[in-house]
Structures are given as structure tokens and as C-alpha cells.
Amino acid sequence: MNSTNSLNSFGYHPFFESYFNEYAEQGYSVGRVAIENKTNYLLYSEFGELTAEISGKMFYNIDGKADFPVVGDWVVFRAIPEEKKAIIEYVLPRRSKFSRKVPGSKTDEQVIASNIDVLFIMTSLNADLNLRRIERYLTLAWDSESEPVIILSKSDLCDITDELKTEIENIAPGVHVHIISSIKQQGLDTVKKYFEGNKTIAIVGSSGVGKSTLINTLLGYERLKVNDIMDYKDKGVHTTVRRELIILPNGGLIIDTPGMRELQMWEGSDGIGATFEDIEELIKKCKFKDCKHESEPGCAVNEALENGTLEEDRYYSYLKLKREIGYFERKHNQKAINAEKKRWKKIHMQAKEHMKFKGRS
């Protein structure tokens, strides 16, 4: 495999080449970010996988969060092949990017992943269709400049697939909609076509719709679960950590980062008021401010549920979305995370002491 060939298999494109040319003349190399871990990166390159850091000069010139490399980026670097290392100097312009505002800041942008050609918006055929959620994902895709494709999963659990497909096509004019079953291996050839030409794809959709199953099916093996990843904070990018830019055996790439998985919920957090405005309005009418809508007197939610003006299903999906958002907000509360880490460290130390003690006796 020559070097352009290997770069192509990572999704290299004339767009990036046109920007890289001037750097190539100066002896730089180009590679793609496969893992981002604060100040450490793992790159795919013509030298194989390299652990990388950004140069002092680049760090000095950085304006805002959006200038740091993220998974999917093409970066210009100085290679130290004998040490399997690289020093990153520049991020090449992005063809597409998913970003969100940094919490608490009005202007700073945080890029979550970049250079995604196609966004698969996945929703499962055996659950309630949430057209509003699909619309939100479509907005996300258009904003990012990637092409949205809607994937309806778990067709083996649904008898009215065509009706649902039509319903979705009506709110998404011009967007391709495909029906698949990973378990029954149906519709997968259509999905695979999107990877042709070493395209990069990301999958969004609620938890449980079958994203991981599809990735594993395309890969042909089980990928490490998020929970199995060890903390590699102080060790640089550890080589056994799972790649977040996944190269498929038959060509094409998938970006699967925690940030992309959570994106939907952050968006949900803004959109929940609009999507469930009727329920939020009802809640304001409850007699007690802290009403839990259980058995409190004067509860407007219960009243609406009883007289049928609020559908039970709708109320449950509202509660479910609320719970999911709460979960991600808790997860992003750094203080809580640190406290939890401290607690585990203590437990770990105690366990070690205990083992030592046992070893002696």
C-alpha cells in the first residue's frame, strides 16, 4: 500500500489535499484524528497509528476551543516515526462539523466531531415514532453540512413498515429513508453503499434503537463497550483504548464518540419545551409549585390524564426524555464526576491494602 492509498482508506479527499499541498512542500505529513483525549491524540497516518500532541506554537496561536483538533479532523504534523509519535501543527479546514455552544459561554464553540459525510438518523420501527425528534436531527445534519439519511431499524419487529416510512418521508422531503434489520441482515446492502468511496458516517438516534448493533454488524465483530474503556487520562492515549474513528473492513469509516452520542440529548434539552409545550403549560397550572404529579391535590397533569386531554403515551415519552436529559446533565457535572473518581480511588486503595494484608497472612 503506498501512502496515498493508505490515506484514502482513512477518507482523504481532494478538498484536504488542496490545503495540504503547501505543507507537503515543507516536509510535513498529514493524518486523521482517531481519538481525542484532551491534549493527546491518536492519528491514522501513512506511518501507521501515531500518538500525537499539539506543538507549542499551535497552542500559542489557538483562539478558542473550536481550533483544537477533534475526531475526524485532518491534521498537519511533524512525524517522529521511530517513536510512533507526531507533533500537530495545523488543523486543515473542515468539510463539515458538529458543534455546540460551550455551556456557560455565549460565543465559544465546541466542535464534537468533523468531516462526517453522511449522518444516519436512526429510529426504531417498534417504538413510538417521534417525528419532532427526527426533525431536530435533520436540522442538526443540515447545520453540520453533512447529508442526512434516515434509517428505520428493527423492521423484523414491525408489521406496518411501509406506512411508517411514508409518514417520515412526508416530513423529510428529499431525504432518503431506508428500512433495515441488523438481526435479520435485511437492507444492509443499501446501508453499505453510503460507505463507498471511503465515506465517513456517524449515527445518531435515541439509546436502544440499534446503533451499536449496526456498527458491530458492519464491522463483523463486537466492539468494546464504552464501559469497558479504562481511564487513560495520565497515560496518554493508551493503545488498547477503542478507536472512535472506526475503519470498516470493506472500506468507509464510522465516527462513534461519546460526544456524538450525547449530542441528541443536548439538542433535546433545548427542544423539549417546544416539543412538549402543552405538558409544560399544564405543569404551570398545578396547585403546588413542586408538584410531582403523583397524588397531589390540584394536579393539572393528572386531571388532563384522567379526562383524556393528555395522552398517557405522550406523557410517558415526555418523562423518559426528561430522565435522559437529566442523566446527561448529571454526567457532565464535572464536580460530581471528580467526587465519584475520588470515591473510587479510595475504594481501590482500601482494596489494595486489604489484598496486601491478606497476602501477608
Sheet holding 200-204, edge to edge: 177-179, 147-153, 118-124, 200-204, 253-255, 245-247
Cα–Cα distance, 12 to 30 (Å, whole number): 10
Q: Is 43 in the site for Zn ion (CB under 5 A)?
A: no
The one among 87, 102, 129, 157 contacting ligand GDP by CB under 6 A: 157
Q: Taking CB under 5 A as the criterion, which residues in 12-31 touch Zn ion?
A: none
Q: Per CB under 5 A, does 286 bind Zn ion?
A: yes
Cβ contacts of 172 within 8 Å, gap of 6 or more: 134, 135, 138, 148, 150
By CB under 6 A, is residue 133 in contact with ligand GDP? Answer: no
CA distance 107 to 14: 32
User: Read out DSSP for 6-61?
Assistant: HHHHTT--HHHHHHHHHHHTTT-EEEEEEEEETTEEEEEETTEEEEEEE-HHHHHH
Part in contact with Zn ion (CB under 5 A); list of ranges 49-57, 91-99, 234-242, 279-287: 279-287
Q: Are strands 177-179 and 147-153 parallel, antiparallel or unpaired?
A: parallel
Find the binding residues for ligand GDP in span 40-99 (CB under 6 A).
none
Rounded least distance, CB 155 to ligand GDP, Å: 7
Nearer to Zn ion, 237 or 300 (CB): 300
Nearer to ligand GDP, 64 or 208 (CB): 208
Q: Does 262 bind ligand GDP (CB under 6 A)?
A: no
131 vs 157, which CB is nearer to ligand GDP?
A: 157
The SS3 call for residue 2 is coil
CA distances (Å), origin 229, targets 52, 218, 225, 346: 20, 21, 7, 20
In the complex with Zn ion, which residue's Cβ is closer, 261 or 293? 293
Q: Does 299 bind Zn ion (CB under 5 A)?
A: yes
Residue 125 binding target from ligand GDP, Zn ion, none, CB below 5 to 8 Å by type: none
According to the binding rule CB under 5 A, does residue 304 interact with Zn ion?
Answer: no
Nearest to 256 by CA among 212, 199, 191: 212
Q: 307, 309, 272, 304: which is closest to 291 by C-alpha?
A: 304
Rg of the Cα trace of the chain?
24
Q: Provide the minimum distance between the beta carbon of 23 and ligand GDP in the complex, in angstroms, as a whole number.
A: 38
Per CB under 6 A, 123 contacts ligand GDP: no
Helix (H, G, I), strand (E, B) or coil at 294: coil
Site string for Zn ion, 227-266 (x = CB under 5 A): ----------------------------------------
Nearer of residues 121 and 282 to ligand GDP, judged by Cβ: 121
Interface residue with ligand GDP among 95, 97, 211, 293 (CB under 6 A) is: 211
Q: Is 282 in the site for Zn ion (CB under 5 A)?
A: no
Residue 210: which of ligand GDP, Zn ion, none does it interact with, CB under 5 to 8 A by kind?
Answer: ligand GDP
State the residue for C-alpha cell 395522552.
311
38: how many CB neighbours lie within 10 A of its CB? 8
Per rule CB under 5 A, is residue 291 in the interface with Zn ion? yes
Closest by CA to 185, choosing from 149, 162, 218, 150, is 218
Region label for 205, one of left (φ > 0), alpha (ψ between -120 and 50) or beta (otherwise): left
181 scored as a contact of ligand GDP (CB under 6 A): yes
Our finding on whether 207 is near ligand GDP (CB under 6 A) is yes
**Which residues form the interface with ligand GDP (CB under 6 A)?**
153-154, 156-157, 181-183, 205, 207-213
Which residues bind to Zn ion, rule: CB under 5 A? 286, 291, 293, 299, 301
